[in-house]
Structure 1
Amino acid sequence: MPKPTEHKSVQARILKYACEIGWNVVSQSEAERRRGFNASAASPKEKAKAASRFFADTLFQKVAQFNPQFDAGSPTAKDDLLRLLNLPLPTIHGNRDFLHYLQGVKTFFSKAEGREFNLILIDYDNPANNVYEVSEEYYLYNGQYANRADVVFFINGIPVVVIECKNATKDEAIAIGIDQLRRYHRETPELMVPQQLFTATESIGFSYGVTWNTVRRNIFNWKDEEIGNLEAKLKSFCNIQHVLDLLKKFILFAEQNEELAKFILRQHQKAAVDKVVERALDPTKQRGLVWHTQGSGKTYTMIKTAELLFKAPQAEKPTVLLMIDRNELEDQMLKNLASIGVNNVEPADSIQDLQKLLKQDYRGIVVSMVHKFRDMPANVSLRKNIYVLIDEAHRTTGGDLGNFLMAAVPNATFIGFTGTPVDKTVYGKGTFKTFGIDDDQGYLHKYSIADSIVDGTTLPLFYGMAPNDLLVPKEILEQEFLNLADAYGVNDIEELNKILERAVNTKNFLKGTERVDKVAAYVAKHYKENVEPLGYKAFLVGVDRPACALYKKALDKYLPPEYSEVVYTGNNNDTEELKAYHNDAKREKEIRKKFTKLDEYPKILIVTEKLLTGFDAPILYAMYLDKPMRDHTLLQAIARVNRPYENEEKEMVKPHGFVLDFVGIFENLEKALAFDSDEINAIVKDIQLLKYLFQSKMDKNVPPYLELIKHNFNDKDTDNLIDYFRDKSRRKEFFKLYKEIEMLYEIISPDKFLRPYIDTYATVSAIYGVVRNAYAKRVQVDREFQRKTNELVQSKVAGSVPDFNNEFFEINEQTIEKIKDASGNDNTRVINLIKSIEKIAEENSDDPFLVGIRERAEAVEENYESRQQSTQEALDEIKKLLEEDLKRRKEQAEKGYDDLTFFVYKTLLERGLKNPEEVTGQIKGEFINHPNWRSSEKELRELRKAIYYAVFAEEDDLDKVAKLVDDLFNHLFIAFKL
């Protein structure tokens, strides 16, 4: 029976489907000819040495066509053009520069005209004028590394999209494809300078993102109506107009934490932007509502909408008002606009500034807050090309402010954006009535909580209840908060605080000295046992600022002071107790930044108002809620913990957010949240559901693994486990299951529900420990095996669970004898020997020989685990490796060479160079003279030149010298991970 292959089942199909939607297929040989490969050279590297990244003739022809001022007749015109497009550095900054070239905002100098003109590389207005091509096996060699991309799409001879293809039968195929793309960025960054988009597919999934951002949380699944349909996905994503739109409009570069980052607007964002721009330019309609759940990128959606509206020719130089509802969000919006390079932006710092901008007919983007429309006269501007984009529209236009706004610019188009479900109260109905009148469903575009969870844009949220004695008495909570008529439809935190000011008994209860101490003790214990071992951070939300101060003092009794920080707005009239926690702007910025970082303090932020809206910290996992909240304020607050977080180095993937309720709000969600139940059920789930999930996995999925333990967990069981889990797919399946039940156990605990499962969980944890230790590629961090679980295993099965024998061997004659020894378990010996080689190579990182041995050992491990080699064959291979290295070490000792010098000597000797010892001595001296060659480009060049001269003195063949020196440095770069 035929088997699917990567090329036949994926790569060739992509070329076929691309051809059907207008991309011309260019064969690999033809593409290499057009890129200037040297066809007569002996090796691929030699062929590609002077090759261009572009189809230079096509590129030159189109530049001449699109740019009348470009002196195409000059004999150096083509070289000048290529020199210009080769200027961007192989970095994310260079990639941004190249996108600016593609977007037509970079310039060239016209000698005839004596001035600069925008260089047009792509005709976006007339797509038929461009040349669209696609090729495969795109090869690039940069003198050090060589890589070959599977499929590359070209527009006018410029590579803009790269696709990595994988076989659908391969385990974790798309993840492997993404890793290859990461390798391209590391090894051949020149390849990725013009490339703007990437995808990876095995024909079932279809992941996409932007180059220079391969972080997993910024790689998305391209959705099409037909699951698994490669043809539909390829034809929709690589649709020519779609690719042009992405290049021209939907790729962003932004400064984040003082570093440049690159983003792409996702499908729901692009769809919303397109719909809003279309609505704004529709002369028959003036309203629209965009309902995008919290955490789905609403800010960038608004910014891109504002930018495109301002640039739209049909808008005729409009005024775009970006309306924000909070001071700190206004500052944040201005920073975001600046960081992505949006110009023509004016902040309206006061009511007078706003009126002045409108009266003087300012054309551009104005950032303001809705309260600056208070008492504004009617008909300040009667123009129709005023577009008002209103953030948090469910509350921003409430009361008279909305009336002032709409009366001041009566002919404007008003688009509301909301991040929380529009509620069923008078406020929610008002939102639909205000913004949804031009749409049958009441909204122009919707991206629901359920949609965002399916896409992985946000995470589901689970909650648990604190012990009853810590909860606000139900009758007090209902009397002072839940049953208040004016509490329904709470739209902002100021309104919530006004309600809480009247809740005398509730606040007295929450801030009682004894209770504060008990809650602080409970939070400290819960955090240390359930959150910190996972690596995440937490919020403690107090009812008001005095409560925050009280909690800080109490928490410092149970946790080190550096664990927590208080963040709230200070006031000059504050008491000394409150002033103790005032932070200036610089200090608060530092606290915020450190909180978002893994393994940095603080780990817990104590807040009451600040940071509950607009603060994005994906590492935030748990919220200890001790403030009565409801409606929009509650959803916005708890949405802080539903941001996805992944850290590959620490192997952390945040599964969901968690809220621990110390008030009692979650006992009655119907009263706390006046929203559609379907929306709420999508985000807020009782921890009881986690118990059902844990029970199901323990009862159905775990028993087959328990059956592997047949000898009360003695050494025979350890050997059997090692043999059973040689198969990678078995390990992957088991590790995935264990990580799921471990996470569930950590969240649910402590709870009497877990009592019947303690022994079983301890056993499966012990199995995991043995298998992980046997097959781990590197030493795991402590949190990999949760502290609570470790203690449980030690207490329940101590003495009966043998540790896996991590016995490391030196590479010497005794090791060879150990391999020959027939006693002992061969599986264990294979694993320990390979681990020994990896460990020795790691500890002797300056020995280039050990790198090669480690790579060969890893190949043995791969064949052994996939059962392509028997245990004895694996031992024989390892024995051969060790014998070779022992022989090398003896020869090296006789010569008296260090590792690097002997490596140079052997390289020269194997290439047949005359007088290798004399040349080696010269080269050793050059390495001593250039001690910083690994970190300094200048010293590396000088060292390479000196070695050329030393070798050339003994060898007349220039090509042979060049190849020898290139090979020498390539091996050294690999050995030293340069």
Structure 2
Amino acid sequence: MDTTEKRFESDIEAFLLSEAGGYVKGCRETYDKSRAIDMSVMLAFIGKTQPKAWARFCRVYGNDAEAQLYKTFQRNVDEHGLIHVLRNGVKDRGIALRFCYFAPASDLNADLVEKYEANILTERRQFHYSTSNENSIDMVLSLNGVPVVALELKNQLKGQSTADSMRQYREDRDPRELIFNFNKRVLVCFGADLRDVVMTTRLDGARTRFLPFNQGSNGAGNVGDGGNPENPDGYPTAYLWERVLRRENLLALLQHYVSLQTTETLALENGRQVKKASTKLIFPRYHQLDVVEKLVADTRERGAGKNYLIQHSAGSGKSNSIAWLTYRLASLHDASRESVFRTVFVVTDRRVLNAQLRETILSFEHSAGQIETVTDKDNSSKLRDAINDGKRIVITTLHRFPLVYKEIDAHAGKNFAVIVDEAHSSQTGKSAQKLKTALADTESALKEWAELEGKEEAALKDEMDVLSEALLSQGQHANLSFYAFTATPKPKTLEIFGEKRGDGSFDAFHHYSMRQAIDEGFIEDVLRFYTTYETSYEIGKISEDNPEYEEPPATKAIRAYHDGHGFVIDQKAAIMTEKFREITLNRIGGRAKAMIVSPSRAHAVRYFFAIKKYCAERGYADVRPLVAFSGKVKYDGKEWTEPELNSAGTLRISEAQLPLYFGSEMFNLLIVAEKYQTGFDEPLLHTMFVDKKLSGVKAVQTLSRLNRQCPGKIDTYVFDFANSNEDIARAFKPFYEDTFLEKAIDVNDVYTFWAELEKMRLWSREDEDKVYAVYSAAEQSRTALGKISSALVPATSAYNRLSEENRFKARALIKNFCRFYAYVTQIVRTFDAELHKSYIFAEIFYRFLPKNAHEKVVLGDKIALVSNKLTETFSGAITLAPEKAEKTFPPEAPRRKPAKPTRTFDTLKNIIDKINLMYQGDFSEADRVIVEEIFDRLQTRQKQLSKLAKASTPEMFEKNLFPAEFNKVANECYNRRMDAFAKLFENEDFYSHVMAEMGAALYADLRNRREGAKRKE
């Protein structure tokens, strides 16, 4: 058996030169190395496809025609790039010439079809390209004489692999050679062996970056690792030449996919904002090409009216996939040569349009006026006009549709494609409903309704009103196709957009898993270096009284007291700072950054001050924090905003500027509270400190802020103070590979909800009619809100007459009914006018209801932190073993018979004891923060302390009067038991915290006693 590299080359060549491959053998003698072009092939193509233009060109230039053609071609390539010239051709003295003809959108124009078929694709092995040496490329593919694809082929059986291909491109292929000039000749360089394929679009010596071009271990679109599956018919890498590079597919790639992207970013240099531009040539990765082609093929075959779910992980290049799909759908024709869609919408869930996605789509070559973008700053009429005028592509946010849906023209016979970026549960909300109302062609739904009602369509149409329109817009529609992209599908997302399989379950149409993205090196594995901490603590009761409290609010108050305690914050801040200096500052060439995820806005501000104080006391100048939170937060007697804290001297960083400044060298630590946990893309982010409970999608989205790659980034670290490694593994498992829904919901459950709600007799059908009449009025008058408020009075009164337990139950039933109805009507049409009115009433009524009252428990003067200890519980990699059962969502089903949790009461001491039992640790005497012995001794000085408290303010007592008393008692305790009290005197911060805690608690206790005594008098 021949196992040489030449055998490998011969097999590839044999296919390419076959009828299926579509190539012809290139000629070594006619290739001009100095021009990096085969002029004879180019002239043959132009002469055949543009004889009149070429004849005119020859008349103008005579014997210099060939030289002038090359000069014109090269001048345009130098100015605009090769891909632009191939797509648009050139002009010389008014003569238009093209160097390639791509496939027309339909075969209506026979002349264009003939010219497309006249393209000459050539293949040559051992391609000698240089005038200065005898180096050769294993194989080169050319289009009409222009080299466009290079292949270096290796054979594992001879001890070589793609690693050798990459070395060869980096070390032996000079990018200054014309054939390798960026976007001037060869557009993509492949390295292929028997198992793997890699590619690059720019040779840059040792800095050349290669990307995997594999299908995935189980084939493209299926869940698996990197690599390629077995091929029973040949090489595992045969897809490269049999699919990707075959004649019609290479031409399609050059026509639709290869794209020059120029991105502008703001950077800070010496404190000044500087615009920086970078240009790269985008060639699709295999899964991107696969998903777009499969979606286009399925849509061409089935037409409009189908939903598709694409589960692609972070690192999949989703923005480019969406951009390619957008343009392909906008130009798609069916078998009858008609455009499949009038308009393609690209819709994002976020209220502010995703700027990166918008710029990606706009960066692809397109015709002027083809695209309309509607941003948060634009008037909503812009969206209305774009829809009514039939713009080919519209980029907007989901939340724009409720503002314009009433002003959209009828859509009989018009189809629309809606590409949804980050599809989540908002697709069951009101904005999604209004999108359907705006775009749906309800003719087929009207026919279906007429059959159910036993009426003529014309009669029903005459009876149409706002209610009818709402019912007809429910469910799926034959003129609307949805293409939903997400890395983390929820059960509702799966049922609305997913593929229904034979066993009744729902799955995505196409997958690119987190597992594959990590394996291929497109994202970092954020779970590889993970450390968790467990907090053990003890709370002490310092007040003499022992009041009774409702347990849940009191337990919550005690936990909040602990978590926000100054000593606890300072202890964690110290660990975070030291880990940051030890690890983060030594990564990515000293440019790495970190994020602290805090549980609340107040915590974010406290961490900010605690870290700055800790660094100032130790002279650390290399920790430079920013903080991100909304609104105002009170700290140390003053209200702070984000820009106020992120200010230094004359520098004041606005909320909009924060990402820019954090990305600069000026700052390297970002403390966040419910900001920047999703959609934030900072490749230098390396370390995350988590002090917030995370679960499900939220955990995946938050930790995934670390996974972006950049040069020099080889790992990431997470230090988690709030979650166990098991918690995080549980959150990630469903999205590591494939997520599917076990079976569909029972849509009739919505009637079960309604029946239970109706039993409570809160409102009547007449009440619903009154509210709906105002709600559905064509023009909302100034009195509309007042009329609705009045119409809700009977229901509000009935609600208020309920017992506390039944109010809780009613509120939960109304909420669940509204959510479930909104979900169900995205999937099916009910044609139930009464139920829809009930939904409208319930949805409005719910917003009018007072929120369930929760007793606010304040315990600051009754409890104290006795001990606190942080223990490292796990350090290592969190592994996610492939287990199908872990990735299955049960069917989404309504919760029935909500019941208010039983209210339990207990004494403060017993509640404290229960919490201490839950968080108990193995404390040494030295771990004590407030020692019972000190407290007992201070109690004996109560008379003297009471006098001091009576004559002073809290601040005067705690800072000026109490410290002397505390010092006396502390020294007495130390002299009696040095071992137990040594830590108190060895750590100044520790001593200060203990004293401050004691002072505040005693002052409050003494003042309360005095006030109580006065009331008795």
Q: Which residue of structure 2 aligns with residue 360 of structure 1?
A: 388
Matches within 5 A, 1:482-501: none
Distance 1:331 1:216 in 2: 26
Matched, 1:237 2:244: yes
**What letter matches 2:199 in structure 1?**
Y
Q: CA deviation at 1:159?
A: 0.9
Q: 1:172 to 1:590 in 2, by over 3 A?
A: farther
Contact 1:309 1:315 in 2 (8 A): no
Query: Secondary structure at the residue paired with 1:664?
Result: coil
- Name which of 233, 250, 257 aligns with 2:257: 250
- Name which of 554, 557, 577 aligns with 1:524: 577
Distance 2:118 2:513 in 1: 39
Q: Which residue of structure 1 aligns with residue 16 of structure 2?
A: 18
Q: 1:64 to 1:572 in 2, by over 3 A?
A: farther
Q: Which residue of structure 1 aligns with residue 286 of structure 2?
A: 267
Q: Which residue of structure 2 aligns with residue 199 of structure 1?
A: 190
Matched, 1:373 2:394: no
Q: 1:301 to 1:346 in 2, by over 3 A?
A: same
Query: Secondary structure at the residue paired with 1:397?
Result: helix
Contact 2:629 2:672 in 1 (8 A): no
Matched, 1:457 2:440: no
Instruction: Report the identity percentage.
Output: 19
Distance 1:619 1:445 in 2: 30
Contact 2:423 2:485 in 1 (8 A): yes
Give the gaps of 5 or more residues in structure 2: 105-112, 217-227, 266-276, 442-478, 540-552, 741-872, 881-1017
Matched, 1:336 2:360: yes
Q: 1:190 to 1:507 in 2, by over 3 A?
A: farther
Contact 1:552 1:564 in 2 (8 A): no
Distance 2:557 2:345 in 1: 41
Q: Which residue of structure 1 aligns with residue 230 of structure 2?
A: 226
Matched, 1:547 2:603: yes
Matches within 5 A, 1:807-846: none
1:899-957, Cα deviation, whole Å (9 max, x unpaired): xxxxxxxxxxxxxxxxxxxxxxxxxxxxxxxxxxxxxxxxxxxxxxxxxxxxxxxxxxx
Distance 1:278 1:506 in 2: 56
Q: CA deviation at 1:406?
A: 0.9
Q: TM-score, normalised by structure 1?
A: 0.57
- Name which of 129, 132, 154 aligns with 2:142: 154
Q: 1:645 to 1:122 in 2, by over 3 A?
A: same
Q: Which residue of structure 2 aligns with residue 57 of structure 1?
A: 40
Distance 2:537 2:418 in 1: 44
Query: Secondary structure at the residue paired with 2:129?
Result: strand
Q: Which residue of structure 2 aligns with residue 659 of structure 1?
A: 718
1:421-454, Cα deviation, whole Å (9 max, x unpaired): 323xxxx2x2233223677644322222233333
Distance 1:674 1:401 in 2: 31
Distance 1:504 1:659 in 2: 28
Q: Which residue of structure 2 aligns with residue 612 of structure 1?
A: 677
Q: CA deviation at 1:663?
A: 1.3
Matches within 5 A, 1:356-505: 356-358=384-386, 360-374=388-402, 376-377=404-405, 380-382=409-411, 384-411=414-441, 412-423=479-490, 428=491, 430-436=492-498, 441-462=506-527, 464-469=530-535
Distance 1:265 1:194 in 2: 18
Matched, 1:34 2:33: no
Q: CA deviation at 1:152?
A: 0.5
Contact 2:681 2:705 in 1 (8 A): yes
Query: Secondary structure at the residue paired with 2:419?
Result: strand
Contact 1:99 1:194 in 2 (8 A): no
- Name which of 90, 93, 100 aligns with 2:84: 100
Quick one: higher RCO (CA 8 Å, sep 6+), 1 or 2?
2
Q: 1:398 to 1:180 in 2, by over 3 A?
A: same
Distance 1:466 1:376 in 2: 49
1:200-239, Cα deviation, whole Å (9 max, x unpaired): 1243432123245875363433554327645454333322
Contact 1:198 1:209 in 2 (8 A): yes
Contact 2:199 2:213 in 1 (8 A): yes
Distance 1:529 1:206 in 2: 39
**What letter matches 1:390 in structure 2?**
V
Give the aligned length: 621
Query: Secondary structure at the residue paired with 1:367?
Result: strand
Contact 1:147 1:188 in 2 (8 A): no
Query: Secondary structure at the residue paired with 1:566?
Result: strand
1:247-271, Cα deviation, whole Å (9 max, x unpaired): 1112222223421122222222222
Q: Which residue of structure 2 aligns with residue 283 of structure 1?
A: 303
Q: 1:351 to 1:666 in 2, by over 3 A?
A: farther
Q: Which residue of structure 1 aligns with residue 844 of structure 2?
A: none
**What letter matches 2:644 in structure 1?**
A
Q: CA deviation at 1:196?
A: 1.2
Distance 1:85 1:533 in 2: 50
Query: Secondary structure at the residue paired with 1:356?
Result: helix
Q: 1:60 to 1:603 in 2, by over 3 A?
A: same
- Name which of 567, 570, 580 aligns with 1:514: 567
Q: TM-score, normalised by structure 2?
A: 0.55
**Which structure has the greater CA radius of gyration?**
2
Contact 2:725 2:878 in 1 (8 A): no
Q: 1:515 to 1:567 in 2, by over 3 A?
A: same
1:60-83, Cα deviation, whole Å (9 max, x unpaired): 121233336523351343323211
Q: Which residue of structure 2 aligns with residue 323 of structure 1?
A: 347
Q: 1:206 to 1:576 in 2, by over 3 A?
A: closer
Query: Secondary structure at the residue paired with 2:262?
Result: strand
Contact 1:134 1:154 in 2 (8 A): yes
Q: CA deviation at 1:409?
A: 0.7
Matches within 5 A, 1:626-645: 626-645=691-710
Q: CA deviation at 1:620?
A: 2.7
Matched, 1:175 2:163: yes
Q: CA deviation at 1:157?
A: 1.6
Give the gaps of 5 or more residues in structure 1: 37-47, 474-499, 694-978
Contact 2:46 2:54 in 1 (8 A): no
Query: Secondary structure at the residue paired with 2:75?
Result: coil
1:608-627, Cα deviation, whole Å (9 max, x unpaired): 33332223333433321122
RMSD: 4.0
Distance 1:346 1:692 in 2: 45
**What letter matches 2:611 in structure 1?**
L
Q: 1:434 to 1:663 in 2, by over 3 A?
A: same
Distance 2:726 2:538 in 1: 11
Distance 1:692 1:367 in 2: 39
Q: Which residue of structure 1 aligns with residue 920 of structure 2?
A: none
**What letter matches 1:391 in structure 2?**
D
Distance 1:135 1:627 in 2: 60
Contact 1:168 1:203 in 2 (8 A): yes
- Name which of 175, 180, 186 aligns with 1:186: 175
1:768-790, Cα deviation, whole Å (9 max, x unpaired): xxxxxxxxxxxxxxxxxxxxxxx
Q: 1:507 to 1:309 in 2, by over 3 A?
A: farther
Q: Which residue of structure 1 aligns with residue 628 of structure 2?
A: 568
